[in-house]
Amino acid sequence: MTESSSAAQGPKLSWSAISRLIRLQSQTGTWLLLLPTLWSLVLAARGLPPLQLLAIFAAGSFVMRSAGVVLNDLADRSFDRHVARTQVRPLASGELSVPHALLVLGFFLALAGLLVLLLDPLTILLSPIAIFLAFLYPFAKRIIHIPQAMLGIAFGWGTIMAWTSSRGAIDAPAWCLFAATVCWAIGYDTIYALQDLEDDRRIGVKSSALLFGSSTWIAVGTALCAMLLLLGLAGWLAQIGWAYYAVLAPVGVWCARQAGQIRGVVSAPTAFHMFQQHVWVGAAVLIGMVAGFIF
């Protein structure tokens, strides 16, 4: 086959390209989506939730995060070509075509629909909102100066669905967990946005890191402080034990230390590493919740 005839065929759908499209090699986003739902399941069950619900929400987090990054790359492919960190993504580089991405997206959304059908009627009714938020988020950076809040709302909706799947209703602690997740996402995703400050400014993409500028460390510290206060309130409303608060205290110290770290200049690799560390923050909160119903 000649080079011209090969080029005429266009990009081919390959497992390697699909795996990079859905960020299979980096599951930090999946954990950051999953952990708040696990908080909600544990708090709603006052301990260990049913294994079936754990399995459904674990699988659902992977599926929805995969669908979310495909949506993000579809929406941002023209921007991604002008950002050093993202120009090698399969859609931005032309390795995959838009129809290929839509096919992958349809597959993951179908999987998400099948998983939702295993849940109770109220949670099924709430599920279209999750899809709507996932579609909305990629366009937030064109409209609002804190698109990280929209990410938090999209991720936080999982706490509401997890709560209703366990309790069949939406109670006050669920809304506290939802709000805590929004604040948490503003914190860690603002740190993530530090990687692309100059590129975002050049191409006109909005982000909280650009909005807050030299006060970004204060904004991140405030968001993480609000997250911890809301988590504490959720625990108090659920009448959780002292061990939970004993875990929140050192988590708060660590968050304050991280906020102070970004007061100075932070390199892109350092910002990404700091972002990844928030998986351990979420895991610590989860362990604290489990311990709080034991002690």
Residue at 6 is within a domain: no
31-49 pLDDT per residue, tens: 999 999 999 999 999 999 9
Q: What is the CATH number of the domain that holds 74?
A: 1.10.357.140
How far apart, in whole angstroms, are the C-alpha atoms of residue 219 and residue 204?
21
SS3 47: coil
How far apart, in whole angstroms, are the C-alpha atoms of residue 95 and residue 172?
47
Q: What is the mean pLDDT of residues 268-295?
A: 96
The confidence score (pLDDT) of residue 2 equals 42
Q: Could you tell me the two tokens for 275? A: 């972002």
How far apart, in whole angstroms, are the C-alpha atoms of residue 245 and residue 47?
15
Residue at 212 is within a domain: yes
172-198 pLDDT per residue, tens: 999 999 999 999 999 999 999 999 888
Residue 269: how many CA atoms within 13 Å on its side-chain side?
0
Q: Please tell me the pTM assigned to this model.
A: 0.93
Q: What is the DSSP letter of 195?
A: G
- Check whether 254 has a pLDDT greater than 80: yes
Residue at 200 is within a domain: yes
239-249 pLDDT per residue, tens: 999 999 999 99
- Tell me the pLDDT band of 159, cut-offs 50, 70 and 90: very high
Residue at 1 is within a domain: no
Residue at 4 is within a domain: no
Residue at 227 is within a domain: yes
Residue at 206 is within a domain: yes
Across the chain, mean pLDDT equals: 92
Segments in 46-120 forming alpha helices (H)? 51-80, 90-93, 98-116
- Check whether 6 has a pLDDT greater than 50: no
Residue at 9 is within a domain: no
For 157, the domain range is 15-292
Q: Could you tell me the two tokens for 58? A: 């674990």
The confidence score (pLDDT) of residue 1 equals 39
Q: What is the mean pLDDT of residues 163-173?
A: 96
- Least confident range of 14-23, 219-228, 281-290: 14-23
How far apart, in whole angstroms, are the C-alpha atoms of residue 83 and residue 200?
8
Q: Could you tell me the two tokens for 248? A: 């929140």
Q: What is the DSSP letter of 146?
A: -
Q: What is the mean pLDDT of residues 128-143?
A: 92
How far apart, in whole angstroms, are the C-alpha atoms of residue 199 and residue 197?
6
| CB 266, CB 274: distance < 8 Å | yes
Residue 218: how many CA atoms within 13 Å on its side-chain side?
5
Domain count, the chain: 1
The confidence score (pLDDT) of residue 7 equals 44
